[in-house]
Chains A and B, each alone.
Chain A
Amino acid sequence: MKVLVSVKRVVDYNVRIQIKPDGSGVVTDGVKHSMNPFDEIAMEEAVRLKEKGKVTEIIAVTLGGAKGEETLRTALAFGADRAIHVKEEGEIQPLTAARALAAIFKKEGAQILFTGKQAIDDDANQTAQMTAALLDLPQATFASKVELDGTKAQVTREIDAGLETLEVDLPAVISADLRLNEPRYLKLPDIMKAKKKTIEAVSFADLGVEAAASLKTIKTTPPPTRSKGVMVKTVDELVSALKAKGLV
């Protein structure tokens, strides 16, 4: 069984982001980037399924500029067998990403697309669902447990009410939530081996994909800041402060 894993290069989750003074966007030049944390989890899940003998080939896919290659090398070090780089400069919004992922999914005859539940830069939480829609496939989003059984998958999903389990026929799209697994720590030999694996570069044109109509950004602004409040020294002071504000 072939599976596809989408991996996005994003500003590292530890970076305190800065907004450009002219409001034209977020500063990304010279800032540490890494693989979207949810995609590391998606990648790890695919590798574990391969280690269990349920998956035969893992193909990692990224969409974006030249530096996306670093993210693909990380995916290859995790254990992807090969990688596809949809090389396009500029912003790629979820519907366009979904079109490209759907095209690759079909071309490869994959059985599962694993994605992260959301990219921590745009926080859109759309690409998995859109890809599933374009392919008319079942979707199991926000997965915290995946069990493969031949031509089906049982997926436990983290939802507002608790945990929901769905059974989906394959092929299907699955998006990973944080508690699906804990990604492994990459070892040097794996990172070295990854350098020898192949990355195929393709364009939207190669895939027969056109960019979808997109949201236009008017401006980027900082959120309203909360000012630092008061420090109290004792529980009695805390109780009085709460009473003074009419909160208790």
Chain B
Amino acid sequence: MSKILIIAEHADGKLNAGLSKVLAAAQKIGGEIDVAVLATDGASVAAEAATLAGVTRVLQIDNANNAHPIAVVLAPQIVELAGRGYSHILFPGTTTGKDVAPRVAAKLGVPQVSDVMAVHSATSFDRPIYAGNAILTVEAPAGVVVATVRLASFTAVAAGNSAAVEKVSVSAAAPAGTRFVSIQAAKADRPDLQSAARVVSGGRALGSSENFSIIYKLADKIGAGVGASRAAVDSGYVPNDMQVGQTGKIIAPELYFAIGISGAIQHLAGIKDARTIVAINKDPEAPIFEVADIGLVGDLFTVVPELEGKL
């Protein structure tokens, strides 16, 4: 039977919602599921994790070195935990998960499965390649399975559990040579892009950061998170953490608005799992209309304010 360890992500004493989706993937594998919280004081995060369905036990690893999720610091601790007989070590497919997981896999001498989007068995998984334009079904070799889970592919498990929390200490020393300097985080006054049920994204067509207010207004009207194409981020209209796509965030909202976005394959890679895609573009030939459920050809500068007024 599988014995699964999931590495929980957290910030400011709060659990990242991605855990409940990784748990859904872990339940498909089946077996015992432990969640590791590596923090300086992980009590509140561990307590939150213990409420999620499917969790067998939560391991709370308090360590002064864990003030920031730095791969070189976390990896040796996770490798040490792996020694407790786990068959699988799963990470959320976030930037932190993607930073840490390969470091753990290499130390364990096993390949890593990136972006698991479906579970066929304890060792067989689907994962996207070529910006999601092909799906590989892979079989992991003997040994520990290390994987990141594509959050947009799984539905969050429910709460209502009360798993045991166990304090665990690790001896792994923090390697020298890597220092946290600073973080410039976006203010969280809008729904989080990766968990929002509705997302409104703007592209190059917005033309400036001032004009992006059109997008924010529509988003605020319907309680949506705000995203952007790479072109909008590169042009400096919005910060990097808003980029949606192959190399940005992969999202699966109920409702997605692509406004002034052409629909390059790299952008589509991030929105393929959206339930309904609405596209507004002045070019009737824009590729975004090939995948949109509802399309409207028009100038966003007149259409979007009108839409905002009528919703």
Which A residues are closer than 8 A to B by beta carbons? 11, 13, 16-17, 19, 26, 93-95, 98, 117-118, 120-134, 136-139, 141-142, 144, 154, 157-169, 172, 177-179, 212-223, 226, 228-239, 241-242, 245, 247-248
The residues of A that contact B222 with a CB separation of less than 8 Å are 248
Selected contact of A141 from candidates B71, B94, B307, CB within 8 Å: B71
Can you give 23 contacting A-B residue pairs, CB < 8 Å? A94-B111, A123-B128, A126-B101, A129-B103, A131-B106, A137-B177, A139-B72, A161-B186, A165-B181, A166-B70, A169-B178, A172-B177, A178-B247, A179-B240, A214-B141, A215-B139, A216-B138, A218-B137, A221-B137, A229-B292, A229-B293, A232-B294, A233-B296
Interface SS, B side: mixed
Q: CB < 8 Å: which of B132, B194, B247, B303 contacts A223?
A: B132
Interface residues of B in 160-201 (CB under 8 A from A): 175-186, 194
B204 at the interface (CB under 8 A from A): no
Bound CA span A93–B138, Å:
13
B88 at interface (Cβ–Cβ under 8 A)?
no
Do the beta carbons of A226 and B277 come within 8 Å of each other? yes
Query: In the complex, which of the residues B99, B181, B241, B292 contacts A162, with contact meaning CB atoms closer than 8 Å?
Result: B241
In the complex, residue of chain A having the shortest beta-carbon distance to the beta carbon of B95: A159
Chain B interface residues toward A at CB < 8 A = 11, 68, 70-72, 75, 94-96, 98-107, 109-115, 124, 128-143, 175-186, 194, 222, 230, 233-234, 239-241, 246-247, 249, 254-255, 265-266, 272, 276-278, 289-298, 303, 306-307, 310-311
Q: Are A247 and B254 in contact (CB under 8 A)?
A: yes
Within the complex, which residue of B107, B138, B183, B295 is in contact with A161, where a contact is CB–CB below 8 Å?
B183
Cα A134 to Cα B72 in complex, Å, equals 12
Given A123-B246, A126-B101; 13 other pairs, CB 8 A cutoff:
A117-B247, A133-B75, A138-B72, A158-B240, A160-B249, A163-B239, A164-B68, A215-B138, A220-B136, A232-B296, A235-B303, A247-B254, A248-B311
Q: For B292, list chain A residues within 8 Å (CB).
A: 228-229
Which residues on the A side are within 8 Å of B183 (C-beta)? 161-165
Interface contact A228-B291, CB-CB below 8 Å:
yes
* Residues from chain B with Cβ under 8 Å of A221 in the complex: 134-135, 137
Select one of A93, A162, A237 contacting B185, CB under 8 A.
A162
Q: Is the CB of A179 within 8 A of B115?
A: no
Nearest 5 CB-CB pairings of A with B: A229-B293, A129-B102, A133-B106, A130-B106, A126-B102
**List of A residues within 8 angstroms of B104 by Cβ:** 133
Q: Is the CB of A179 within 8 A of B234?
A: yes
Residues of B within 8 Å of A131, CB to CB, are 106
Q: Considering residues A178, A218, A223, A237, which has the most beta carbons from chain B within 10 angstroms of its beta carbon? A: A223
Q: List the B side residues contacting A144 at CB < 8 Å.
A: 240
Please report the C-alpha to C-alpha distance between residue A221 and residue B130 in the assembled complex, in whole angstroms.
12
In whole angstroms, how far apart are the Cα atoms of A136 and B138 in the complex? 29
Provided the pairs A26-B129, A238-B296 are in contact, do residues A245 and B311 lie with their beta carbons within 8 angstroms? Answer: no
The residues of B that contact A217 with a CB separation of less than 8 Å are 136-138
In the complex, chain B residues whose CB is within 8 Å of the CB of A132 = 72, 103
Most buried by B among A13, A122, A124, A134: A124
CB distance from B115 to the nearest CB of A (A): 7
- In the complex, are the beta carbons of A19 and B186 less than 8 A apart? no
Q: Which residues of A contact B230 (CB under 8 A)?
A: 178
Contact A238 B177 (CB under 8 A): no
Residue of A nearest to B302 (CB): A235
Q: How far is the CA of A234 from the CA of B105 in the complex (A)?
A: 53
Contacts of A231 in B (CB 8 A): 289, 294-297
Of chain A, the residue at the smallest CB distance from B108 is A133
- The one of B68, B106, B109, B115 in contact with A123, judged by C-beta atoms closer than 8 angstroms, is B115
Q: Are A179 and B233 in contact (CB under 8 A)?
A: yes
Minimal Cβ-Cβ distance residue in A for B120: A218
Give Cα distance in the complex from A177 to B131, angstroms. Answer: 16
User: B240 contacts which of A163, A167, A215 (Cβ < 8 Å)?
Assistant: A163
Chain A's nearest CB lies how many Å from the CB of B122? 14
Min Cβ gap A39→B in Å is 14
A123, closest chain B residue (CB): B129
- Taking the closest CB of chain A, its distance from the CB of B146, in whole angstroms, is 10
Roughly how many angstroms separate A169 CA and B143 CA in the complex, as a whole number? Answer: 33
Instruction: Please determine whether A162 and B140 come into contact, CB atoms closer than 8 angstroms.
Output: no
Whole-angstrom CA separation of A199 from B301 in the bound complex: 54
Please, which residues of chain B bring their CB within 8 A of the CB of A242?
Answer: 255, 278, 294, 311
Task: Say yes or no: B130 contacts A17, CB within 8 Å.
Answer: yes
A223–B297 touching, CB < 8 Å: no
B188 to chain A: closest CB distance in Å?
9
Contact B241 A159 (CB under 8 A): yes
Q: How far is the CB of A115 from chain B (nearest CB, A)?
A: 12
Determine the residue in chain A with the shortest Cβ distance to B98: A125
Cα separation A127 to B306 with both chains bound (whole Å): 48
Please tell me which one of the listed residues A161, A213, A219 contacts residue B143 in the complex, with CB atoms under 8 A apart: A213
Cβ–Cβ contact B177 & A169, under 8 A: yes
| Chain B: minimal CB distance from A220 (Å) | 5
Q: How far is the CB of B306 from chain A (nearest CB, A)?
A: 5
